[in-house]
Amino acid sequence: MRDQKGPVTDHTLQSSLFSVKNPRAMSGVMSNNSTMEVQDLPLETTSSSLPPNIIQTILTLMPMRDAFRTSILSHNWRNQCLNIPKLTFDDAVFQGPSCKNGSMRWKLLYIVYPILLLHQGPILEFSLCISQLISCCEIDQIILHLSRIATLKKLTLCIESGDDHKLLPAFFNLQKLTVLKLQKCVFQPPVTFKGFSRLVRLSFNNVSITAEVFLRFISNCPKLKDFTLIGDEKHLMGRWNSDFVELFECLPLVERLCMSWYPIKRLCMSWYPIKCFATGVIPQKLPTSLVHLKYLHLTGLSFAREIDVRSVLLLVTSSPNIDTIILKMQYNPNEAVSQTAMNLIDQQGCLNVILDHLRVLTISNFASMKTGMDFVKLVLAKSPMLKIVDIVIDKRVDINGEVKMLKELVQYPRASTKAEIRFQRP
């Protein structure tokens, strides 16, 4: 692709991203809060004399735009800029006047490309998260380049708008990945793909994938500990007949779990991906406890729906070592509470619940609903190490309802004498 802005050159790269008006001022970029007058010292003393490993550490800790600007200090700094192992392309990188009027594809072609092509050392981390980033062939070329280097350990790719981006077959050759975060991508691996054996953290945000591919993929990631799944009917495609038991058989080491399901406003009131796995009869407890799970974050559920209440109880009661529970609720005052849901949570039926390690419970959009109150009471009764219960009241709950709920919970017996119940308004 050619553009009126000119061909890709080292000079283009410097003028658009690296250049600074005052080279000596850059010698103080790492010590803005220091009382030392760096500008009064010879430039050679303040920059070039530093050992390469120290320079590399400094550059890695700096925002990437500032890091590359230090290339003006000396050849030593410039050489180290070409070896930065962590490349993060976000909106801050493209704030200069040269980038202001450039299109998204221009930014990829004349900023990201040259940095990758001039880079000399291993690339361990790569992130591309830019406002209005759309699917385009330039992204394919970036992934192809990264797959050839074969050193990448952490990859973040966030498509912000337009169509989902279909990942190249070369993407699945990134076998050293330990962290993968994708947004609005199409995940269709070749039949020969055997998963990412080193993957520890996975985040899928509206990634188009079928149930068969999804379960096969995570079952081939044996080291996965941190898992986030956010999706809707458009992205979690096809029939999802798997249940929670099958899901967690594929995640034996999971420590952090974040799931979100959003209602599709124009089609039907459905919640994904919880609905995908809440098939058949939901057991009271998983056959194998989630002993590694310490952090549970669920979004978009409702205490009025039986399927939601059963799913929350299943995950909580199957996690004996859980430390933090975060629930971001949906509350609709016109939604009738399921009669079955109202009777699901009772102390007699939850005698075997163990929450000995729970310290924090946070619930947002909370309302005076029996099932919600019963859940909080269950946590209070079963959590001897509980320290904080943060409840953010739904804005439609009046002050009288808030006072009534707070009084009822404060007076309820609790296993932890240190548990603090805090009510807040959004």
Same domain, 343 and 369: yes
Same domain, 229 and 327: no
Same domain, 100 and 38: yes
Looking at residue 180, its pLDDT comes to: 97
Looking at the domain assignment, is residue 129 inside a domain? no
C-alpha to C-alpha distances, 190 to 136, 142, 167, 205, 271, nearest whole angstrom: 21, 19, 11, 21, 29
Tell me which DSSP letter residue 264 carries. Answer: B
Residue ending a domain, among 96, 121, 146, is: 121
Separation between Cα atoms, residue 237 and residue 246, nearest integer Å: 18
Domain that holds residue 4: 1-121
Same domain, 117 and 6: yes
Separation between Cα atoms, residue 281 and residue 303, nearest integer Å: 18
Separation between Cα atoms, residue 117 and residue 123, nearest integer Å: 12
Backbone phi, psi, residue 24, to 5°: -65, -30
Tokens of 255: 């420590």
Same domain, 389 and 271: no
Same domain, 421 and 326: yes
Same domain, 73 and 46: yes
CB atoms within 10 A of CB 253: 16
Closest CA to 105 of 35, 4, 15, 24: 4
Positive/negative CA dihedral, 391, 396, 399, 400: negative
Is 70 within 8 Å of 77 (Cβ atoms)? yes
Same domain, 423 and 299: yes
Separation between Cα atoms, residue 86 and residue 56, nearest integer Å: 10
Same domain, 113 and 10: yes
Looking at the domain assignment, is residue 132 inside a domain? no
Number of domains, the chain: 3
Is 143 within 8 Å of 113 (Cβ atoms)? no
C-alpha to C-alpha distances, 391 to 89, 230, 367, 368, 412, nearest whole angstrom: 37, 23, 10, 12, 16
Closest CA to 275 of 218, 211, 329, 370: 211
Is 183 within 8 Å of 202 (Cβ atoms)? no
Sequence-ordered list of residues with C-beta below 8 angstroms from that of 398, at least 6 positions apart, any chain: none
Looking at the domain assignment, is residue 26 inside a domain? yes
Q: What is the pTM of this model?
A: 0.72
Looking at residue 265, its pLDDT comes to: 24
Residue 364 DSSP SS3 = strand
Same domain, 291 and 419: yes
How far is it between the farthest Cα atoms of the chain? 78
Sequence-ordered list of residues with C-beta below 8 angstroms from that of 406, at least 6 positions apart, any chain: 421, 423
Looking at the domain assignment, is residue 5 inside a domain? yes
| Each residue's pLDDT expressed in tens, for the chain with a length of 426 residues | 434 444 444 444 444 444 433 333 333 333 444 333 444 444 444 556 677 677 667 766 777 666 666 665 666 666 666 778 889 888 877 776 655 556 778 888 888 888 888 888 899 999 999 888 999 999 999 999 999 988 999 999 999 989 999 999 999 999 999 999 999 999 999 999 999 999 999 999 889 998 889 889 999 999 999 988 887 767 776 666 666 677 778 888 888 877 765 432 222 223 444 455 555 567 778 888 888 889 988 888 889 888 888 888 888 988 999 999 999 998 888 887 777 777 788 644 576 788 999 999 999 999 988 999 999 999 999 999 999 999 999 999 999 999 999 999 999 999 999 999 999 998
Say what the alpha-carbon torsion angle 321, 293, 238, 328 is, to the nearest 10 degrees. 80
Separation between Cα atoms, residue 393 and residue 365, nearest integer Å: 5
Closest CA to 46 of 69, 71, 67, 27: 27
C-alpha to C-alpha distances, 8 to 92, 117, 140, 322, 387, nearest whole angstrom: 21, 10, 18, 52, 57
Same domain, 290 and 240: no
Is 56 within 8 Å of 80 (Cβ atoms)? yes
Is 303 within 8 Å of 269 (Cβ atoms)? no
Same domain, 323 and 421: yes
